[in-house]
A = this chain, B = another copy of it.
Amino acid sequence: MRLKIFTTGGTIDKIYFDKKSQYEVGDPQAGGVLDRANVTFEYEVESILKQDSLDMTDADRDVVRRAIEAAPEKQIVITHGTDTMIETANVLAGVGGKTIVLTGSMYPAQFRDSDAVFNLGCAVIAAQSLPPGIYIAMNGQIFDPRTSKKNVEMNRFEAIAK
């Protein structure tokens, strides 16, 4: 078993630059989180983008898809901004034979009470436990990206009511 983590930026990796009171996407946080959690499975973190997900283009999503297709690993976690996580997940439709789990966080991993650590715990177990397919791991649940959305008002993911 070997798990691959692709990082693309998003809130989870946001850091704070005081100089102009801005935030920017910093280095990937996922590796530090997994180290502190003392995980014992084999994994590799690879930064492929450093984007706010609102700025992600079709070309960016193509980069993500090709990286996943090229990876020999069957268990993939992608850290991603929440605003267009669903859109990227749906672009991955049809990638076969891999369990692909997208996660991220509503608050930067650098925050005291961020949801990032919990969400990464959710994502790594989902990647190891679920059959091949594309999944979202947010708010302590697994969502099918074809039938879920980010509720911006409530700042959470949810299934689309039929």
**CA–CA, A139 and B137, complex, Å:** 18
Within 8 A of B (CB), among A109-147: 110-113, 115, 117-122, 124-126, 128-130, 137, 139-142
Return chain B residues, CB-CB under 8 Å to A107.
16, 18
Contact with B along A134-162 (1 / 0, CB 8 A): 00010111100000000010011110000
Residues on the B chain within 8 Å of A126, using CB:
125, 129
Q: Are B38 and A139 in contact (CB under 8 A)?
A: yes
A115 to B18, CA, bound (A): 12
Distance between Cα atoms of A106 and B122 in the complex (Å): 18
Q: Would you give the shortest CB distance from A30 to chain B, in whole angstroms?
A: 11
The 11 listed contacts between A and B (C-beta, < 8 Å) are A14-B21, A37-B115, A38-B139, A39-B139, A39-B140, A40-B139, A41-B140, A118-B120, A125-B126, A125-B137, A126-B129
A residues sitting closer than 8 Å to B (CB atoms) are: 11, 14, 16, 18-23, 33-34, 36-41, 52, 54, 81-83, 106-108, 110-113, 115, 117-122, 124-126, 128-130, 137, 139-142, 152, 155-158
Q: Which 5 A-B pairs have the closest CB atoms?
A: A121-B121, A39-B140, A37-B118, A118-B121, A40-B139
